[in-house]
Amino acid sequence: MRIAKADLAPTDANLQEKYAAEAFYRVIDAAYERRSVIVTSNLHPSGFDSIMPKTLATAAVDRLLHHAHIVLTEGSSPRLTQATSSQGVVPLAPAG
């Protein structure tokens, strides 16, 4: 896997495609204790089982959090703020 040979493997936990969860896990597993990995996600790691099978989520999170430096951010999204204030984009209304 060529991506595992990179010094840094940035990835996003947006797993919409059919085989994305397994591919995500394979990247994490291949890089585990060999390469640095950055994962961006709107989900807390405990919620990864909502976007991928629980067995893959547990294994991926286990490898990601071992030796991890976690950076949590809070606040509004600058991109969403910009889009809704100057571009005329309206956020979706909550279902209900």
Q: Which two tokens stand for residue 70?
A: 């976690």
Cα 42 to Cα 24, 53, 57, 72, 75: the distances in Å are: 16, 18, 15, 10, 12
Helix extents (H) in 1-96: 20-31, 54-65, 78-86
Query: pTM surpassing 0.85?
Result: no
Cβ neighbour number for residue 25 with a 10 Å cutoff = 19
What is the torsional sign of CA 93, 57, 6, 1?
Answer: negative
* Residue 25 and residue 52 in contact, taking contact as beta carbons nearer than 8 Å: yes
Per-residue model confidence (pLDDT) at position 60: 92
pLDDT tens for residues 40-92? 887 888 888 888 899 999 999 999 999 988 887 787 777 777 777 766 556 66
